[in-house]
Amino acid sequence: MLRLKGEHIRLRALEPDDLDFLYELENNETLWEISGTTTPYSRHILKKYLDNAHRDIYDVKQLRLCICDKNDRGIGLIDLFDFDPKNHRAGVGIVVLEDKNRNRGVGEEAIRLLTDYAFSTLAMRQLYANVVVGNTTSIHLFKKLGFQEVGIKKDWIFSNGIYKDEILFQKLKT
């Protein structure tokens, strides 16, 4: 049975009311390294994005879900990106906005829910994640969830004036 609701969080589609949360998250410069963002987003552009967030994953090749706490307050985002139904694979990305919600099982529960959804409902055979070397929290998280380190992309990310390697993790459906 498909469940996008866990013990402590749930995953849901983005709603128009998420504009302020999305604006805060997307314009948080401390998160730009992991998102590849280089310029701020206006409320206008983010509203247009939300207006189109209902589009089908098979059309836009991406699915973004809001990670919500028990009070249905947005605390993060989790994505399937580069959705490839022909080859049965997709990338996984996750961000939890506030420090107070990190290292508390939110990311673990969100990735478990999304992985189950991708493997059961979307018939994915493999998921992958890209993690910058040095992001020990994310490295630990993906390893804990059964993602295997399958490669290093040398000098992949240019951030704060230096090049950083990125680890490629992969999880195959068992």
pTM of the model: 0.91
Of 51 and 169, the structure prediction assigns the larger pLDDT to 169
Q: Is the pLDDT at 22 greater than 80, yes or no?
A: yes
2-21 pLDDT per residue, tens: 579 999 999 999 999 999 99
Q: Is the pLDDT at 144 greater than 60, yes or no?
A: yes
Query: How would residue 1 be classed by pLDDT, with cut points 50, 70 and 90?
Result: very low
Q: How far apart are CA 38 and CA 82, in angstroms?
A: 20
- In the chain, the percentage of residues whose pLDDT exceeds 90 is 74
Total residue length of the chain: 174
Nearest by Cα to 92 from 103, 83, 84, 81: 81
The residue ranges of every structural domain in the chain are 10-172
Q: Which residues are bridge partners to 128 per DSSP?
A: 91, 170
Q: Is the pLDDT at 24 greater than 50, yes or no?
A: yes
The highest-level CATH class for domain 10-172 is alpha beta
Query: Are 117 and 127 contacting, i.e. CB atoms less than 8 angstroms apart?
Result: no
Q: How far apart are CA 83 and CA 91, in angstroms?
A: 7
